[in-house]
Amino acid sequence: MAKTSSKANSNTHPLHINTLAVREAVERSQYGENSEALYLTSSFVQPDAATAARRFAGEEEGYIYSRFTNPTVVSMERRLAALEGTEACIATSSGMAAILTMCLGLLKAGDHVVCSQSVFGSTIKLIASEMGKFGVQSTFVAQTDLAQWQNAIRPNTKILFAETPTNPLTEVCDIKALADMAHKAGAWLAVDNCFCSPALQRPVELGADLIIHSGTKYLDGQGRVLAGAICCPQKMIDESFMPLMRSAGMSLSPFNAWVVLKGLETLAIRMQAQSASALDLATWLEQHPKVARVYYPGLVSHPQHELAMRQQSGCGGAVLSFDVVGGAESGGGPAQARTNAFAVIDATQVMSITANLGDTKTTITHPASTSHGRLTEVQRQAAGIGQGLIRVAVGLEHLDDLKSDLRRGLDTLP
Ligand SMILES: *Cc1c(COP(=O)(O)O)cnc(C)c1O
pLDDT at 378: 79
Same domain (yes/no): 245, 319? no
Same domain (yes/no): 49, 61? yes
**Which residue blocks in 173-241 are alpha helix, DSSP H?**
175-184, 197-200, 234-236
Has residue 145 been placed in a domain? Answer: yes
- The span from the CA of 409 to the CA of 261, in Å, is 38
- Signed CA dihedral, 390, 396, 397, 401: sign only: positive
- Domain boundary among the residues 207, 240, 264 is at 264
- The span from the CA of 320 to the CA of 286, in Å, is 11
> Is pLDDT at 318 greater than 50 in this prediction?
yes
Residue 250 structural domain: 7-264
Q: Is the CB of 226 under 6 A from ligand 1?
A: yes
Three-state DSSP state, 36? coil
Q: Is the CB of 220 under 6 A from ligand 1?
A: no
DSSP state, 411? Answer: T
Q: Are 267 and 219 in contact (CB under 8 A)?
A: yes
- The span from the CA of 226 to the CA of 98, in Å, is 11
Same domain (yes/no): 94, 175? yes
Atom 1 in ligand 1: residue holding the nearest Cα:
214
> Is pLDDT at 119 greater than 80 in this prediction?
yes
- The span from the CA of 387 to the CA of 334, in Å, is 5
Q: How many domains does the chain fold into? A: 2
> Is pLDDT at 291 greater than 80 in this prediction?
yes
Same domain (yes/no): 195, 304? no
Same domain (yes/no): 253, 395? no
* Average pLDDT of span 234-239: 98
- Domain boundary among the residues 214, 241, 264 is at 264
Three-state DSSP state, 96? helix
Has residue 210 been placed in a domain? Answer: yes
The rounded mean pLDDT for the chain is 95
pLDDT at 103: 98
CATH number of 376's domain:
3.90.1150.10
Has residue 1 been placed in a domain? Answer: no
C-alpha distances (whole Å) from 201 to each of 172, 194, 299 are 12, 10, 18
> CA 177, 182, 186: angle at the middle one, nearest 5?
150
Same domain (yes/no): 19, 105? yes
Same domain (yes/no): 120, 139? yes
What is the edge-to-edge ordering of all strands in the sheet holding 319-324? 291-295, 319-324, 389-393, 363-365, 352-353
Q: Is the CB of 392 under 6 A from ligand 1?
A: no
Q: Are strands 112-116 and 137-141 parallel, antiparallel or unpaired?
A: parallel
- pLDDT tens-place string over residues 179-217: 999 999 999 999 999 999 999 999 999 999 999 999 999
Same domain (yes/no): 252, 190? yes
Largest separation between any pair of C-alpha atoms in the chain = 78
DSSP state, 329? Answer: G
Q: Are strands 88-92 and 228-232 parallel, antiparallel or unpaired?
A: antiparallel
- Beta-carbon count within 10 A of 360 CB: 16
Same domain (yes/no): 275, 260? no
Q: Is the CB of 95 under 6 A from ligand 1?
A: yes
Atom 5 in ligand 1: residue holding the nearest Cα:
95
- pLDDT tens-place string over residues 244-275: 999 999 999 999 999 999 999 999 999 999 99
- Domain boundary among the residues 224, 246, 264 is at 264
Same domain (yes/no): 233, 310? no
pLDDT at 385: 92
Q: Hey, which of 99, 120, 253 would you mutate to test ligand 1's pocket, going by the most ligand atoms within 8 Å of its Cβ?
A: 120
> CA 4, 264, 278: angle at the middle one, nearest 5?
160
pLDDT at 271: 98
Q: Is the CB of 94 under 6 A from ligand 1?
A: yes
Atom 4 in ligand 1: residue holding the nearest Cα:
95
Same domain (yes/no): 220, 277? no
Q: Tell me how far the alpha carbon of residue 196 lies from the centroid of ligand 1, in angstroms.
A: 13
Q: Is the CB of 116 under 6 A from ligand 1?
A: no
> Poorest-confidence range of 42-46, 196-200, 336-340, 377-381?
377-381
C-alpha distances (whole Å) from 28 to each of 22, 63, 315 are 14, 15, 36
Atom 6 in ligand 1: residue holding the nearest Cα:
95
- The span from the CA of 114 to the CA of 157, in Å, is 7
pLDDT at 11: 56
pLDDT at 333: 87
Q: Are 183 and 208 in contact (CB under 8 A)?
A: no
- pLDDT tens-place string over residues 19-34: 999 999 999 999 999 9
Q: Are 370 and 309 in contact (CB under 8 A)?
A: no
Q: 382 pLDDT band (50/70/90 cuts)?
A: confident
- The span from the CA of 373 to the CA of 385, in Å, is 10
- The span from the CA of 210 to the CA of 223, in Å, is 25
pLDDT at 5: 43
* Cis preceding linkage at 165, omega within 30: yes
* Average pLDDT of span 297-312: 98
- The span from the CA of 76 to the CA of 208, in Å, is 21
Q: Is the CB of 225 under 6 A from ligand 1?
A: no
Has residue 2 been placed in a domain? Answer: no
Q: Tell me how far the alpha carbon of residue 96 lies from the centroid of ligand 1, in angstroms.
A: 6
Residues in Cβ contact with 284 at an 8 Å cutoff, skipping those fewer than 6 apart = 403
pLDDT at 9: 52
Same domain (yes/no): 260, 297? no
CATH number of 134's domain:
3.40.640.10
> Is pLDDT at 129 greater than 80 in this prediction?
yes
User: Which has the closest alpha carbon to 175: 185, 158, 186, 188?
Assistant: 188
Q: Is the CB of 92 under 6 A from ligand 1?
A: no
Q: Tell me how far the alpha carbon of residue 165 lies from the centroid of ligand 1, in angstroms.
A: 13
Task: State phi, psi for 252 to the nearest 5 degrees.
Answer: -85, 135
pLDDT at 3: 40
C-alpha dihedral, 255 to 258 to 260 to 262, nearest 10°: -140
- pLDDT tens-place string over residues 345-380: 999 999 999 989 999 999 999 999 998 888 777 778
Task: State phi, psi for 133 to the nearest 5 degrees.
Answer: -60, -25
> Is pLDDT at 1 greater than 70 in this prediction?
no
- pLDDT tens-place string over residues 67-103: 999 999 999 999 999 999 999 999 999 999 999 999 9
pTM, entire model: 0.95
